[in-house]
Chains A and B, each alone.
Chain A
Amino acid sequence: MIFSNIYDNERKIKEVYKNSLDINFRNINLKNNQLLLVFNQCLCNGKSINDFVLKNLSFIFDDNVKIKKSSLVSFFKSSLPAHSIKEVDSFDKVYEYLGNGFLICFFNGVNKALAIEVKETLARAITEPLTEQSISGPKDAFNEHFLTNIGLIRKRIKSSNLVVSEKSIGKESMTKVAVIYLSNVVEDNLVSEVNKKLDNIDIDAILDTSYIKQLIDDKNTLFPVVETTERPDTVCMNLLEGRVVILCENSPFALIIPTFFIDLFHASEDNYQAPIHVLFTRIIRYIAFFLAILTPAFYIAITTYNQEAIPVNLFISFASQRSGVPFPAIVEALGMTLIFEILRESDIRMPHLGGSSISILGAIVLGDAAVSAGIVSPIMVIVIAISAICSLIFSKVSMINAIRFWKGAFMIFATCFGIPGIFLCGVLFLTKLADLKSMGKPYLYPISPFSLKFFINNVFKTRLKNNNMRSPILTDKNYRRNNL
């Protein structure tokens, strides 16, 4: 409960914030009314405080106006030309608003305060997407500003059916989290399930949407069951399909729920290209996925167990290249993969200029020096390079990580059992995938459960004018897109 004495309020806030330097106090005495203004100078815009609060105070407390203490707050609230003013009656709310860039105005003799929004925009400008670039289509991406991100969605879907509900998660961070959906499309159960998962989160701070992603994922899955995107257009497309989107304060990434395995093969570029071209690029992605996972394993299997599967000339080529290499194929493959992963990791962390040096160094070390030194065979460099390049076709880090894990698993099985081992691991891989669910929805949809129409549309792409139905697994109302 707020004290009626402003000095008590000041003392209390100073105690709580331990005299933090960013919390500013300003006592004002106007026409026998004593006011205490408290604000966080890092989060508040000084110009807004001067122009919209301080300047107007003198006009509001005119000599001719007699205001009772009891109506002081409501009078002030109605008179001040600010776009967002809230009445506050508890210190918890005071701290929350202070953390959100509000100025708190205490009135002496009144046990209420006003929170006036004078927020400073501490965010980047809207820039191009960094991780999901596309040649065609919109070029804007989310940034760390919560309202800007919601605005980027709202300006694309102007319908009143677009619901943006807000939550505050994190005991210390009190991070604002928005749950966004189209109320006339989304399955009500899905919304309640998402809300339930969010309400169950018990954590001190949410610093990014990836925190939420990890917290709502019941199983520790390798493949992502919740997709992230930094593109507002991708978010809107998913909202129109009946999915729920989660945005989080200070994060440029949105979460899309539910996500299916097949979605990982889609790129934002696909939405703006003709189906025939998308067909080609998606086939390339499927091939790349299998090459990324299976190439090293297959090489190990056919060179150590099933040599008869190799055409004789290729066999001779492999054998001549491997002669003199001191390590078994699995050690060679794992070593090369490890070096590649180290290079990739250092390339990501290094500044751009240093990154290119790392790439050159890696290319020389892996491609030439290691071969010349007889540590690895040229064919192994090719095999690992094919696998690595194919895995990099996917922009999602979680997908790359999953590929990395399964590539290793397939390699170990191939080393132990040869080609039958690859099939064995393949069964395990499919079992794991089929076992996954994203918010209760089968992860392998539309492959299992099979739906021909949505299989064609998801695995390949149908023409936009024929794509007039929503997936029944995502929505239970308004199946037709043109019948809203």
Chain B
Amino acid sequence: MKKIVIVLLFCLVFLTGCSYVELNDMVIVSTLGVDYDNGLYTVSAQVIDYSTATKEGENIVDSSILYVGYGNSIISAVRDMYNAYPKNLHMGHLELLVVGNGVLKEHFKDIFDYLIRSPEATNDPLVVLNTNGSALEILNLEGKKGKSYNGKAIVDNIEENQKHEGSVSKKNLEEVLSLILQKGIDPVIPTVEYKENVDKFSNTLLTGFAVFTDNVIKNLDEKASVAYNIVNANFIDIPIITKYNDKDVTILFLRPSSEVNLSIEDSITVNIDITGIGHISEIYEQVDLIDDKVIKELNDSYEATIKDYINCLIEFCRVNNADILGLKNKIYKFNNKFYEKYKDKNIYEVANFKINVDMDLFRHGTTYKGTIGENDAKD
């Protein structure tokens, strides 16, 4: 026992204080923006400003300060901040990484290296791209709307959008890096852009997905972005607008399930099976929803619309030679002998796609039981 105590005392005396930092001496970086222009990196860190908070702990998450540093590398730009700002940057609670278009052109993969190597930084901030502007313009909104904007709002937007809109989904740093490192799959990352006076609360707008392929970033259109989330069954309920008697009908897509299978015989066949439930949420046509024929026609139209969405995605992949669905990755993993044959081809041109959409349309829509509900109709 005495030996143990001596060893522990030795450790206490000689091995202490390696990474000791008091809370007072650090600032919390919630969002990091990285830009690149003419050989110079610009790193902007949005730090949470709790200096104005009272001791009772009023909500201070909305208030933030922007630190900006410049350097020839990302780390030198981060260190540059210490020349101007007094406190240690704590990146353990980094929530969002915004990548500007300057980086996307040449150094997209490089920015991950710093964050993965940095022991203080967390590996799971969400990644968003500004394909039409800089990261700094997304973060530095002070003066344009009266107070600084916090990256957490973008994170919340992405989460809510994924659940109920389906045009973006969460992609964190590790996931993006994993996709970059895998063979035969191109990473898809949400995009954000600055819009002057979108409304009085926000100056940023989530615009969908972009895919990083052959060192080039390409933006998906809205339909393809939604289709990407449908194929990945990555939402809770999203509205899909279909046509019935040439009039719009909005149907919520719930309980999604999807499967992408690939078979290689003489040719490549890709089976995309989508199933789910549809709740009619808006219909302007006076139709009898308890009529099975009407429901079937609506359902057929609904399934055709979803197929159309997925076809848009496939077409985007074909045109841009972007393997968003990771078909080559599936060949690499499960039919490896064919990988060499297809690795340099545009697989979306040679493959046959069979899209099977099987939706179950609830006739009573979003109401649980109407005046004449589903049970009555069966009678």
B residues 27-43 with Cβ under 8 Å of A? 28, 30
A317 close to B57 (CB less than 8 A): yes
**Measured between C-beta atoms, what is the minimum distance from A172 to chain B in Å?**
37
Would you call B19 an interface residue if the criterion is a C-beta within 8 Å of the partner chain's C-beta atoms?
yes
Q: Which A residue's beta carbon lies closest to that of B12?
A: A416
Would you call B198 an interface residue if the criterion is a C-beta within 8 Å of the partner chain's C-beta atoms?
no
Knowing A303-B23, A304-B22, A416-B12, the reply to whether A315 touches B56 (Cβ < 8 A) is no
As a 0/1 sequence over residues 279 to 307 of chain A, the CB contacts with chain B under 8 angstroms (1 = contact) are: 00000000000000000000000011101
B20 close to A315 (CB less than 8 A): no
Tell me the complex Cα distance, A321–B51, Å.
Answer: 10
**Measured between C-beta atoms, what is the minimum distance from A344 to chain B in Å?**
26
**Measured between C-beta atoms, what is the minimum distance from B228 to chain A in Å?**
29
Tell me the complex Cα distance, A33–B60, Å.
Answer: 100
Would you call A322 an interface residue if the criterion is a C-beta within 8 Å of the partner chain's C-beta atoms?
yes
B residues 92-107 with Cβ under 8 Å of A? 92-93, 95
B4 close to A322 (CB less than 8 A): no
As a 0/1 sequence over residues 49 to 82 of chain B, the CB contacts with chain A under 8 angstroms (1 = contact) are: 0110111110011000000000000000000000
Would you call A348 an interface residue if the criterion is a C-beta within 8 Å of the partner chain's C-beta atoms?
no
Contacts of B48 in A (CB 8 A): 316
Tell me the complex Cα distance, A119–B23, Å.
Answer: 69
B60 close to A320 (CB less than 8 A): yes
Knowing A305-B20, A312-B93, the reply to whether A435 touches B1 (Cβ < 8 A) is yes
Q: Which B residue's beta carbon lies closest to that of A432?
A: B1
A315 close to B28 (CB less than 8 A): yes
Tell me the complex Cα distance, A317–B23, Å.
Answer: 11
Would you call B375 an interface residue if the criterion is a C-beta within 8 Å of the partner chain's C-beta atoms?
no
Would you call B21 an interface residue if the criterion is a C-beta within 8 Å of the partner chain's C-beta atoms?
yes
Tell me the complex Cα distance, A416–B1, Å.
Answer: 20
Knowing A318-B23, A319-B50, A428-B4, the reply to whether A412 touches B57 (Cβ < 8 A) is no
A304 close to B20 (CB less than 8 A): yes
Knowing A308-B122, A431-B1, the reply to whether A316 touches B50 (Cβ < 8 A) is yes
Knowing A307-B92, A308-B93, the reply to whether A321 touches B8 (Cβ < 8 A) is no
A320 close to B57 (CB less than 8 A): yes
Would you call A358 an interface residue if the criterion is a C-beta within 8 Å of the partner chain's C-beta atoms?
no
Tell me the complex Cα distance, A304–B18, Å.
Answer: 11
A322 close to B12 (CB less than 8 A): no
A323 close to B24 (CB less than 8 A): yes
As a 0/1 sequence over residues 1 to 27 of chain B, the CB contacts with chain A under 8 angstroms (1 = contact) are: 100100010011001110111111010
Tell me the complex Cα distance, A435–B17, Å.
Answer: 31
- Which of B4, B55, B95, B122 contacts A321, CB < 8 Å? B55
Tell me the complex Cα distance, A355–B80, Å.
Answer: 57
Tell me the complex Cα distance, A158–B61, Å.
Answer: 70
**Measured between C-beta atoms, what is the minimum distance from B24 to chain A in Å?**
6
Tell me the complex Cα distance, A323–B27, Å.
Answer: 11
Q: Which B residues are closer than 8 A to A by beta carbons?
A: 1, 4, 8, 11-12, 15-17, 19-24, 26, 28, 30, 48, 50-51, 53-57, 60-61, 90, 92-93, 95, 122
List 22 interface pairs A-B (beta carbons < 8 Å), by A numbering: A303-B23, A305-B19, A307-B21, A307-B90, A312-B30, A312-B93, A312-B95, A318-B23, A319-B23, A319-B28, A319-B50, A320-B54, A320-B60, A322-B22, A323-B51, A325-B24, A328-B22, A412-B12, A413-B12, A417-B15, A431-B1, A435-B1
The 9 closest A-B pairs by CB, nearest first: A308-B92, A320-B50, A320-B53, A416-B16, A312-B93, A322-B23, A317-B57, A319-B23, A303-B23
